[in-house]
Amino acid sequence: MPVSRLVLGMALGLLVFPVQAATVSRLTPPSELFASGSPGPVISRFLPGQRFDLQATVQPDAGESVASFQFFVDGAWVNGPLPLGGGANDSRLARNSLVVETGTAETCIRDGKTTGAAGCVLAAGLPSNTAVVSFRGYSHYEAGPHQFKLVARTNSGRTISAAGNFEVVGIDGGGRTAKNIIILLGDGMGAAHRTAARIMAKGYAQGKARGMLAMDTFPFSGQVMTASLNSIVTDSAPGMANYVSGNKANNNEEGVWPDDTLAAFDNPRIEYLAEYLHMLQGKSLGIVTTSDVFDATPAANAVHTAQRGNGTGIVDQFLDERNKTGLTVLMGGGRKWFLPNATGSTSPQPSNGSQRATRNDYVLPADIVNGWGVVAGKMDPERDLIADFIAAGFAYTPDNTALNAAFARGTPDKLLGLFAYSNMNVSYDKIAGRRGNPEVVNAFGFPDQPLLEEMTDKAIKVLARNPKGFVLTIEGASIDKQAHLMDTDRWIHDVIEFDRAVAVAQQFAATNADTLVIVTADHECAGAAVIGASTLSSAQLAADKLRGKNAVGVYEAARFPRYAMAADGYPATTNVDYKMLIGYGANADRYENWLPSRFPTRDSQQPFPPAQSPANPGVRNKDEGALITGQVAGDSAVHTGTDIPLSAYGLGASQFSGTFDNTDVFFKLGQLAVGGVK
């Protein structure tokens, strides 16, 4: 039967019965103390006052049910003692929830009320009397290690308990603080990606680089370990979120820990850097990407979900929780999630390209709403999200012409730019369009898209209006996407575009001494390696497309490939004589002719993909390229677990040297923003 407020209150006064065999199958935050009994390493760490959820999955003996629960930290009650007789106005009660599945019909008890929300359905394989208990939005200020404990009581009065630990990382005050933090993330960009871009953009003379990338000139560098909570090989969701939450997340999850309910948006939350600094200092948040804005990296700065693919709910949460994150700038692709879809169906595809649907939208349970002070959300595929952003004070720009026009009228207070239905065109094709060959960008239907360095410049201008400072994440997204597709010419071109955005941020930091800029990646993609150069001219390659491995010159046969840069700052062509060749250690099968592909490979996220795009790398060049067998199944190269470089410039840059975990970056940023550097 439902647990009432009275039962929750009275349960705290029950006699303590002997503890039976441990039946807590999950305890959150994750800890090695709970998992193995070892107090170290400490898995979950927080800045002072950073908020997070406490949660446990409790499995009573057959025939019993969980009647009440308590969380303790260092022996002190977190969610009690609750007042006897109800306590309807007690905020701690509103942040508690007990979710129980009974047979095939779930019973959800949140804030003392029984509901039938579908999100309360538990994961398959759990006993029917399993309960998920939560306390939302907890925070702790005392630095050092802490033990937390869950004590649950069954309807028969038995006690079930489990313990874990976490750490609060202290902040040393009295230093010079970073007002602005700019994180430039080249998605999938490992050391080889950076090297290849330097070779193409700068060239070599007798073994010496003729010049350096902007990111090469940063004075401090480190090496980052990138594992996620559940794998040595991360995907982009925790790959980004770990930097800005200080905590490990499962693959596909952002701003949350895993739980045992099926709902994607009710998982236990961790407060992001932007949320923490907006609450503490009033900083603004900017997110700029060349991907669809719902994608893992941009969303993992502001959105809390266990399913990185739930686009409708993700973009809604950007706006719905802007008062918590300080969101002021959002630019990239992804218009398909913002356009109203009256029927909520995407098959057949609506003529306006909308992909909004109920199946990937969200409604938050009351305990999250109360515990975090956020909007509940709504299943509303018919929502006109662009109109709602405009009503919230955002200037909206659908293309580069409109973007420039908006700034010609003066710098907007807030900015939304959506320049494609989904992922933006890569710089290889955008530059071709600007040079008078718009075939590809016209085929996608968005010929007037800004480059990443142009978006970066505009974002900084808007964010710099806030005298309290800002956090800005800038993503070069298609370094990863084109490396997955093993389209070498396109991903190298995108590293160059990304580096030009790095230069814009560096110039801002050079004249704003209270700014820190870091350049890094969420992971390495494809196991890319500079293996040598073609032994053939471009004409010879075109005439003999089946040479494959026999066209690869290694060691001294590679010599020094030479590329010419055009006045716009990009390669005049990537198809030069004796061009640089890239190999892949985490690749799928592909047909290779070492020549640039006329059209990019099919992007499954596009609602209206061009018919000219090859379906996948397994058929691209099939009739005119040599088969190169890969290491993995399928049609796509994969991420690797290789450490990746991080470069830092500006205030506090010296803190980013050596080898460190991706979660360590969060605490370095927190120290610099709040305590400063002496």
Would you kindly state where each structural domain of the chain is located, as residue ranges?
5-168, 180-186+216-519+648-675
User: Of 456, 476, 453, 455, which Cα lies nearest the Cα of 186?
Assistant: 476
Confidence at 120, pLDDT banded by 50, 70, 90 = low
452 vs 114, which has greater pLDDT? 452
Cα–Cα distance, 233 to 138 (Å, whole number): 30
What is the β-pairing status of strands 327-333 and 204-205?
Answer: unpaired
Cα–Cα distance, 662 to 297 (Å, whole number): 14
Q: Are 479 and 190 in contact (CB under 8 A)?
A: no
CA distances from 63 to 69, 130, 161, 253 (A): 18, 11, 18, 34
How close are the terminal C-alpha atoms of the chain, in Å?
59
What's this model's pTM, rounded to 2 decimal places?
A: 0.94
Q: In this structure, which amino acid lies at residue 521? A: A
Cα–Cα distance, 521 to 543 (Å, whole number): 38
- Percentages of the chain per state (helix, strand, coil), in multiples of 5: 30, 25, 45
What's residue 93's pLDDT? 62
The pLDDT tens digits of the residues spanning 158-187 come to 999 999 999 999 999 999 999 999 999 999
Q: List, in sequence order, the alpha helices (H) in 464-518.
A: 478-484, 488-511
Structure-block tokens of residue 179:
């007002």
Q: Which of 303-312, 364-373, 422-431, 514-523 has the lowest mean pLDDT?
A: 364-373
**DSSP conformational letter for 671:** I
What's residue 121's pLDDT? 76
What percentage of the chain reaches a pLDDT higher than 70?
91
Average pLDDT over residues 645-672: 98
Cα–Cα distance, 74 to 580 (Å, whole number): 59
The pLDDT tens digits of the residues spanning 61-88 come to 988 988 889 999 999 999 865 443 333 4
Average pLDDT over residues 633-642: 97
What is the β-pairing status of strands 76-77 and 66-73?
Answer: antiparallel
What is the β-pairing status of strands 327-333 and 105-110?
Answer: unpaired
Specify the DSSP element, H or E, that contains 202: helix 191-202
CATH classification code of 180-186+216-519+648-675: 3.40.720.10
Q: Are 409 and 348 in contact (CB under 8 A)?
A: no
| CATH 2.60.40.420 at 5-168, yes or no | no
The pLDDT tens digits of the residues spanning 533-579 come to 999 999 999 998 888 899 999 999 999 999 999 999 999 999 999 99
Q: Give me the chain's average pLDDT, please.
A: 92
